Structure 1
């Protein structure tokens, strides 16, 4: 008897060498439902929830930038929080406060907390080489320092040009469970196998700017597991429980269950704001819990790495975050940003879904960042 089957249509490669969920016609639904689309994932939920109270400030909604960016067809949600007060909240008709959304590369910020804690405990030296901690790593990372990896300040053959449908970052998706492996690709490659295969003849970054590579984050996660003896899932659980998330953190994994911290997270807008508040409070969480390291968070904005490429070169990449020296935050592929002003205590979150071919527009990112930075400065 023949048992018939067909390739999962959400994950199958269709136009422009993309999985169907990430094509323009399906991307909005894909981003709002990636926690159910991906092949492998975990979900983590806190026992205690950080209480938030509505204290809306109507002046925020009257700002021209806010009106413009929240009235487009690609907008999904926006939240502004100060302390435990929600100052502003708005959602598109097809979204809402209880809906998770992919946060893509904003996920990387968890590694600032994890590495910061390991540096404080003298388990990681920022000047040490990756091979000091991962002897089996390939020459794409072996001689790079931990600080170079943290700051996106190295070169190797992993590419992340979103306009190139065959860039490494897209091919990486098969390992992450975001697409089916293409012809000639390994069928069940693990994250660590993939990372160990990255190569470089010269790791020096000569671009004059941050050289963005999501694989860097996964290398850091691998190092964290090795030096701590604690799985990344356990580290993530500590962060979720310190932040006091109300809903679940959904995190993509590889086939072995290794979390994809480079971009696998999905959260509600309010819960992403709760996560951002951890940076404002320098790692202090609910119920006296602590994650990260206060000195490392301050070091992140005081000694930033290379500038981002123009036109977003008004901030830097630093220790798996983006910063202008006042705020710490991160962007996400396709139209997300989280920004935490460490002086005023205001956190802003913005979700949207770009529907152009490559889901990338630095001018659009710049407009989101400037809006959130202005709000975080002026409403503290």
Structure 2
């Protein structure tokens, strides 16, 4: 298997008190041996069975500088990779900018901005951000396609207006009382964002609010038949550009000398929604981001990672991890199909490798 990879060992430019990718990422000085990470993240692929851990990209950034970067063909540093449900957390970040502009409050009813939700007047934006709308939903993909709400929304009867398809679902639980992961909730949020803006402003808003200020140039965000961004699933970004969002979150919403995202919004993203049931190995929900904080009576989902670790996660192994105390941002793109990949194992190996520095 041909692999493009880069072990970065030489610093580029002078070291400052705080590094930013302006205009591009710089490399940290490092003589770190990454073999333990390589052997886990990039084993030999079985092309026929499509089994095992199948990383397309792995990018590790500490304190604003690249420590490690590797790609597996055909993915490269310039590839805008499908992020799948990482899109949800990026949507939440765009919404944070909109909230700072005074466009909505968390307690607002979704119906204020998206009229089809008038059938469910008690569903608030905060409920959607917690995946707790109470709408009946089945998130299974290839394992139960005939019963899957998300498959119908993305590919069949819901594809022309995904938020309207979701809004037409019946209520199964009282809104705000139970976590039920739903790509439909995310697409209602994308439609609500549209309702907050002048019609001419929506198409460019993610770029104006987030991508352009961060220096992101690779972004492609597909829209459904109604013109609403598929906030649940269809954002494409290069690994280096996704890492910019991770650095923004690691630094409490600050980008260079600008507070682009309110610190209180980042705190909301990182606040545990307790109305969930712990699943071993699975992160717990925050405000449309995923947390390593334990639910009451349960262990941390990723026991070898700090409990303040949080992440944006997507289908088939896409991940953006943020480890604030360690000042780490990690991007992983992948083509995992069989569930063998472990978030905890990768984070454990990265942290163990870095712990050896200077030993």
TM-score by length of 2: 0.75
Deviation at 1:311, TM superposition (A): 1.9
Larger helix percent: 1
Partner of 1:158: 137
Partner of 2:280: 311
Residue correspondence of structure 1 range 256-295 to structure 2 within 5 A: 256-285=226-255, 290-295=259-264
Partner of 1:321: 289
- 1: CA distance, partners of 2:274 / 2:337: 31
Report the secondary structure of 2:115's partner residue.
coil
Residue correspondence of structure 1 range 336-375 to structure 2 within 5 A: 336-356=318-338, 361=339, 364-368=342-346
Partner of 1:71: 43
Deviation at 1:302, TM superposition (A): 4.0
Partner of 2:5: none
* Structure 1 pair 366–271 and aligned structure 2 pair: CA distance change class (3 A): same
- 1: CA distance, partners of 2:354 / 2:246: 12
Moved more, 129-138 or 274-283: 129-138
Partner of 1:113: 93
- 2: CA distance, partners of 1:202 / 1:338: 31
- Asked whether 1:134 is paired with 2:119, we answer no
- 2: CA distance, partners of 1:60 / 1:218: 42
- Asked whether 1:229 is paired with 2:198, we answer yes
Contact kept in structure 2, 1:113 and 1:283, CA below 8 Å? no
Deviation at 1:327, TM superposition (A): 2.7
* Equivalent of residue 160 in structure 2, options 186, 189, 193: 189
Partner of 1:16: none
- Asked whether 1:240 is paired with 2:208, we answer no
Partner of 1:40: none
Structure 1 unaligned blocks of 5 or more: 1-47, 175-180
Deviation at 1:332, TM superposition (A): 0.7
Contact kept in structure 2, 1:138 and 1:198, CA below 8 Å? no
* Structure 1 pair 117–374 and aligned structure 2 pair: CA distance change class (3 A): farther
Structure 2 unaligned blocks of 5 or more: 1-20, 46-53, 294-307
Partner of 2:300: none
Report the secondary structure of 1:172's partner residue.
helix
Deviation at 1:366, TM superposition (A): 4.6
- 1: CA distance, partners of 2:205 / 2:274: 25
- 1: CA distance, partners of 2:284 / 2:353: 19
**Paired residues, what number?**
311
* Structure 1 pair 203–304 and aligned structure 2 pair: CA distance change class (3 A): closer
- 2: CA distance, partners of 1:236 / 1:105: 16
Say what the alpha-carbon RMSD is for the aligned residues.
3.1
Bigger relative contact order, structure 1 or 2 (CA pairs below 8 A, ≥6 apart): 1
Contact kept in structure 1, 2:160 and 2:226, CA below 8 Å? no
* Equivalent of residue 150 in structure 2, options 149, 164, 169: 169
